[in-house]
Chains A and B, each alone.
Chain A
Amino acid sequence: MGIAFYLTYAVRSLRRSGQRTLLAILAVAFGVMSLVAMQILTSNIFTIIIRDPRVDLGGDLEVYQDSALTDVDIAQLDTLRESGRISDYTLSSVTYELVLKTGTETTFVGSAFGVEPDKYPMVGSLKLSAPENATLSEALSRPRTIAITIDLAERLNLHAGDIVLVTNTMGGTPQRMTIGGIISATPDHMGGRVFYTLETASLLANNARIVTGASLLVPDDPDGLTAELRNAGWGVTTPDDIRVDQKSVRDVFNFMLKGAGMLGLLVGGIGVANTMQVLLARRTTEIAILKTMGYRPRHLMLLFGLETLLIGLVGSVIGVIAAIGFSIPLTNAIENTGSVLLGWAVDVPLLLSGILTGTATALIFGVYAIMRASGVRPSLLLRQMPAFSTWKRRLQAVGVYALLALPFGVLSTLIMGSVIQGAGVVLVALAGLIVLGLVLGGALFISVRLPAPRIWLLTLARNNLKRQGGRLLFALIALFVGVFAIGFSAGTILSAREEFDVRQGSLEGENLVVFSDAAQEADLRGEIEGQKGVKSWFTVYQAELTSIQAQTGDTWRTLDVPRVEGRTDIASEPGLSVSGEPWGTRADAIYLPHTYEYQDLPTGTLIQVTGTSGTQVNLVLAGLYDYESNMISHGHSALVSQDAAKTLGGSAVSLITVAELDTSRLTAFGDHLQEALPDAMVITAADIRAVIQQMLTNLFVFAITVAGLALVAGAILIANSVGLSMIERRREIGVFKAVGYSSNHVLRAFLLEHTLLGVLASGLGMLAVEIAARILDGAEGVDISLDPLPALAIMGIATGIAVASALAVAWRPTRVRPLVVLRDE
Chain B
Amino acid sequence: MPNATPSTSYAVEARDLHRALPLGGERIEILNGVSFAIAHGEWIALTGPSGSGKSTLLGVLAGIDTVDGGAVCIDGVDITTMSERNLARFRNEKIGIVFQSFNLIPTLTARENVEVPLYVSDRAGSIAQRAKEMLDLVGLSDRMNHRPHQLSGGQQQRVAIARALVTHPTILLADEPTGNLDTKTGTQVLELFAGLRRDLGVTVIVATHDGQVAARADRLLYLVDGRLQQPGNGHVTEPLREPVRMHGGR
Contact = CB atoms under 8 A, between A and B. Distances in A.
Interface of A: 1-2, 5-6, 8-9, 12-13, 15-16, 285-286, 288-297, 299, 377-379, 381-383, 385
Given A299-B119, A379-B64, 16 more contacts: A2-B127, A5-B112, A289-B105, A290-B105, A292-B62, A292-B91, A293-B120, A294-B92, A294-B117, A294-B120, A381-B59, A381-B64, A381-B103, A382-B59, A382-B175, A383-B65
* 8 tightest Cβ-Cβ pairs between the two chains A and B: A294-B92, A12-B107, A378-B64, A379-B65, A293-B117, A382-B55, A296-B88, A382-B59
B106 A8 contact: no
A16 B106 contact: yes
Contacts of A377: 64-65
Contacts of A382: 55-56, 58-59, 64-65, 175
A383 B59 contact: yes
Contacts of B91: 292-294
26 contacts: A1-B119, A2-B127, A6-B119, A8-B108, A16-B106, A285-B103, A292-B97, A293-B97, A293-B163, A294-B88, A294-B91, A294-B92, A294-B117, A295-B88, A295-B120, A299-B120, A378-B59, A378-B62, A378-B65, A379-B65, A381-B64, A381-B103, A382-B55, A382-B64, A382-B175, A383-B56
B93 interface: yes
A157 B97 CA distance: 77
A294 B122 CA distance: 11
Contact of A5 (B21, B88, B115): B115
B56 A291 contact: no
Contact of B107 (A6, A15, A379): A15
Nearest to B105: A286
A381 to B, nearest CB: 6
A293 B103 contact: no
Dominant secondary structure of chain B at its interface with chain A: helix
A296 B90 CA distance: 11
A291 B56 CA distance: 17
B168 to A, nearest CB: 13
Pick from B55, B59, B66, B85 the residue with the most CB of A within 10 Å: B59
A301 B105 CA distance: 17
Contacts of A16: 106-107
Nearest to A15: B107
Nearest to A8: B112
B116 interface: yes
Interface of B: 21, 55-56, 58-59, 62, 64-66, 84-85, 88-93, 97, 99, 103, 105-108, 112, 115-117, 119-121, 127, 163, 167, 175
Nearest to A2: B119
Given A12-B108, A379-B65, A293 B56 contact: no
A296 B85 contact: yes
Contacts of B117: 293-294
A670 B119 CA distance: 85
A291 B106 CA distance: 16
A288 B62 CA distance: 13
Contacts of B115: 2, 5
Contacts of B105: 9, 286, 289-290
Contacts of A13: 107
B199 to A, nearest CB: 21
A8 B145 CA distance: 14
Pick from A6, A294, A299 the residue with the most CB of B within 10 Å: A294
Contacts of A296: 84-85, 88-89, 120
B121 A294 contact: yes
A289 B103 contact: yes
A297 B119 CA distance: 14
Contact of B108 (A9, A15, A297, A381): A9
Contacts of A12: 107-108
Contacts of B21: 383, 385
B220 to A, nearest CB: 20
Contacts of B163: 293
Contacts of B59: 378-379, 381-383
A299 B120 CA distance: 8
Pick from B93, B119, B175 the residue with the most CB of A within 10 Å: B119
Nearest to A824: B101
Contacts of A286: 105
A294 B93 contact: yes
Contacts of B85: 296
A381 B120 contact: no
B125 to A, nearest CB: 13
A5 B119 contact: yes
A294 B89 contact: yes
B40 to A, nearest CB: 21
B175 to A, nearest CB: 6
A135 to B, nearest CB: 65
B180 to A, nearest CB: 10
B136 to A, nearest CB: 20
B107 to A, nearest CB: 4
A292 B64 contact: yes
Contacts of B97: 292-293
A239 B203 CA distance: 87
A5 B99 CA distance: 24
B145 to A, nearest CB: 13
Nearest to B22: A385
A121 B31 CA distance: 92
Contacts of B127: 2, 5
A382 B99 CA distance: 9
B52 to A, nearest CB: 13
Pick from B59, B84, B88 the residue with the most CB of A within 10 Å: B88
A385 B103 CA distance: 18
Contacts of A379: 59, 64-66
B178 to A, nearest CB: 17
Contact of B99 (A290, A295, A381): A381
Contacts of A385: 21
A288 B59 CA distance: 12
Given A285-B103, A379-B64, A381-B64, A291 B88 contact: yes
Contacts of A294: 88-93, 117, 120-121, 167
A685 B121 CA distance: 84
Given A296-B84, A379-B59, A379-B64, A290 B112 contact: no
A190 B103 CA distance: 66
B68 to A, nearest CB: 14
A285 B102 CA distance: 11
Given A2-B127, A382-B58, A9 B107 contact: yes
Contacts of A297: 84
B116 A290 contact: yes
A385 B56 CA distance: 12
Contacts of A293: 91-92, 97, 116-117, 120, 163
A290 B91 CA distance: 11
Contacts of B90: 294
B228 to A, nearest CB: 19
Contacts of B99: 381
Contacts of A383: 21, 55-56, 59, 65
Contacts of A378: 59, 62, 64-65
Nearest to A388: B22
A357 to B, nearest CB: 29
Contacts of B58: 382
Contacts of B116: 290, 293
A8 B111 CA distance: 13
Nearest to A303: B119
Contacts of B108: 8-9, 12
Pick from A6, A9, A382, A383 the residue with the most CB of B within 10 Å: A382
A6 B175 CA distance: 28
Given A5-B112, A299-B120, A291 B64 contact: yes
A2 B106 CA distance: 19
A299 B106 CA distance: 19
A377 B112 CA distance: 23
Pick from B21, B92, B97, B107 the residue with the most CB of A within 10 Å: B107
